[in-house]
Copies of this chain bind each other. A is one copy, B any other.
Amino acid sequence: MLDLTPKEHSERTALRINSCKTCQPVGALYCALGVHNCMPYSHGSQGCVAYHRTFLTRHFKEPAIASTSSFTEGACVFGGGANLKQGTKNVFDIYDPDIIAIHTTCLSETIGDDLNSFIMDLDIPEDKLVVHSNTPSYVGSHVDGYFNMMCGFIKYLSKNTGVKNGKTAILPSWSNPGDLREFKRLAALMNVPITMFPDQSGVMDSPMTDHYEIYPKGGTTIPEITGLGDCDSVIGLGEMTVTEPCEQLKKKCRVNYEVLPYPIGVENTDKFIMALSKMNGGNIPYAIEEERGQLIDLMLDSHIWFTGKTCAIYGDPDYVLGLTSLVLEMGMIPKYVLTGTPGAAFVNKTKALFDKYDVGEKCVSKESGDLFDLHQWVKQSPVDLLIGSSYGKQIARAEDIPFVRAGFPVLDRYGHPLSPITCYKGAIRLVEQISNALLDRIDRDVPDEQFDVIM
């Protein structure tokens, strides 16, 4: 497996090998799936959306709907306005969403389609809406596409009516439904009324019912998105992802925000709970304290297997930051930390974490990296554990490293999007998974006389 990867690192400036990111449009599409009765719409060639739907479907094992302008060569020459006009009409006719969320592609961006004016020219049915965001594939990554589409919704819909609605807005970074449900559960336990946007739970984890619904029950509703402008305040979950939409909402509707680290691990979750507690007068129910205490208990009980163990973590910036924070809390050394998404802030934030735990000299962090980099690092000096998306499984096999899947995409396993890796419950799940991975390896490798049935 990956036998052609040499140990020696050579500088690359042009060739991307085994990418650890993908392009903006899929992020925009995923964001739009988190809006109720919304049809995501890709303004570009039809192949884009075919890839994106496939990718999301494989992660969630759920249908991921989206439409497309189906550019042909002619559209490239004359511009995509006609396609958009016809396309949105057909979508409203056939698929009858309440809203169409358009994102651009490298194609429509390269030819310079002006979506603002195109949309002005559309003949949109009454009570229906069209929003858009620009998501050129050659800028940033799928993470940028996700938050750009959030900005698009906010820009088009959110309003400050002057009357506060008493709600707290939660703007989460790219999350699995299991995590989104966890955010909502905790807010409910705290008695904090919220609007969460976007919210793919109930959409990308919908139950088997014998009756397919193109628009499942879940998703943030349009009035809720409009109402974001009347929220008391905003909690952004994921510093690397949702700062921009928070800022957007502040600019447009003057709602104050606090952006927190994505709540993976103890301290990051503490921050989320503390932020929620500002909204409810500081009341933190025992149930939450109990969950937290169970997590700490578990970490103490099992720390003997983690201390000083090295790991490599890769994936999207907020996931990686959260996971890095958790493994540091567990006493592990996040020897290699890598994201494919560009942005120096990632490196600064990981370094701050390394320094906080005094492991700066033992750890490397990289943005705009790829899995070929990671593999070469591992070849040069191995790690005890690999944490990240499915594509790392090649490295895990090649170098015989225990592997815990987390983040996007996890294409080759089932059930994972249903359960959280965030907040205290999610950390319990991760600690269990990580300890299982490490202990399974010990059980595999020790000689018979060291094979323990107790631990």
Which residue from chain B places its CB closest to the CB of A454 in the assembled complex? B411
Stretch of A107-115, A168-176, A205-213 with 4 or more beta carbons under 8 angstroms from chain B:
A205-213
Give every chain B residue within 8 A of A415 (Cβ-Cβ).
Answer: 298, 302, 428-429, 431-432, 435
- A390 in the interface, Cβ–Cβ < 8 Å? yes
**A427 CB → nearest B CB, Å:** 10
Q: Are B293 and A412 in contact (CB under 8 A)?
A: no
- A58 in the interface, Cβ–Cβ < 8 Å? yes
Give every chain B residue within 8 A of A413 (Cβ-Cβ).
Answer: 432, 435-436, 439, 455
Stretch of A77-85, A275-283, A348-356, A391-399 with 4 or more beta carbons under 8 angstroms from chain B:
A391-399
- Within A262-305, the residues touching B (CB, 8 Å) are 289-294, 296-298, 300-302, 305
Give every chain B residue within 8 A of A301 (Cβ-Cβ).
Answer: 61, 414
- Within A431-450, the residues touching B (CB, 8 Å) are 431-432, 435-436, 439, 443, 448
Give every chain B residue within 8 A of A58 (Cβ-Cβ).
Answer: 454-455
**A400-441, CB under 8 A of B: which get 1 and which 0?**
000000000001111110110000000011011001100100
CA distance A421 to B298 in the complex (A): 18
**A314 CB → nearest B CB, Å:** 14
Q: Are B296 and A208 in contact (CB under 8 A)?
A: yes
* Interface magnitude class on chain A: 35 or more
Q: Given A207-B294, A208-B300, A391-B453, are A418 and B412 also a contact pair (CB < 8 Å)? A: no
Which residue from chain B places its CB closest to the CB of A412 in the assembled complex? B455
Give every chain B residue within 8 A of A291 (Cβ-Cβ).
Answer: 207
- A1 in the interface, Cβ–Cβ < 8 Å? yes
Q: Given A1-B451, A452-B412, are A419 and B397 also a contact pair (CB < 8 Å)? A: no
**A391 CB → nearest B CB, Å:** 6
Q: Given A290-B207, A448-B1, are A428 and B432 also a contact pair (CB < 8 Å)? A: no
Q: Are A439 and B453 in contact (CB under 8 A)?
A: no
CA distance A54 to B148 in the complex (A): 56
Which secondary structure dominates where chain A touches chain B?
helix
CA distance A207 to B296 in the complex (A): 7
Give every chain B residue within 8 A of A202 (Cβ-Cβ).
Answer: 290
Max chain B C-beta neighbours (<10 A), residue from A58, A207, A429? A207
**A428 CB → nearest B CB, Å:** 6
Give every chain B residue within 8 A of A293 (Cβ-Cβ).
Answer: 206-209
Give every chain B residue within 8 A of A455 (Cβ-Cβ).
Answer: 58, 411-414
CA distance A418 to B429 in the complex (A): 9
Max chain B C-beta neighbours (<10 A), residue from A290, A301, A390, A414? A414
Q: Are A453 and B394 in contact (CB under 8 A)?
A: yes
Q: Are B451 and A394 in contact (CB under 8 A)?
A: yes
CA distance A62 to B298 in the complex (A): 10
Q: Given A301-B61, A412-B455, are A428 and B435 also a contact pair (CB < 8 Å)? A: no
Q: Are A439 and B412 in contact (CB under 8 A)?
A: yes
Q: Are B207 and A390 in contact (CB under 8 A)?
A: no
Give every chain B residue within 8 A of A412 (Cβ-Cβ).
Answer: 439, 443, 452-455
Give every chain B residue within 8 A of A290 (Cβ-Cβ).
Answer: 202, 207
Known: A208-B294, A414-B431, A415-B435. 14 other contacts (CB 8 A): A205-B294, A207-B289, A207-B294, A208-B297, A298-B414, A301-B414, A394-B451, A397-B443, A411-B455, A412-B455, A413-B436, A413-B439, A415-B432, A416-B432
Q: List 12 A-B contacts (CB under 8 A).
A: A202-B290, A206-B297, A207-B291, A207-B294, A209-B293, A305-B414, A397-B451, A411-B455, A412-B439, A413-B432, A414-B435, A415-B435
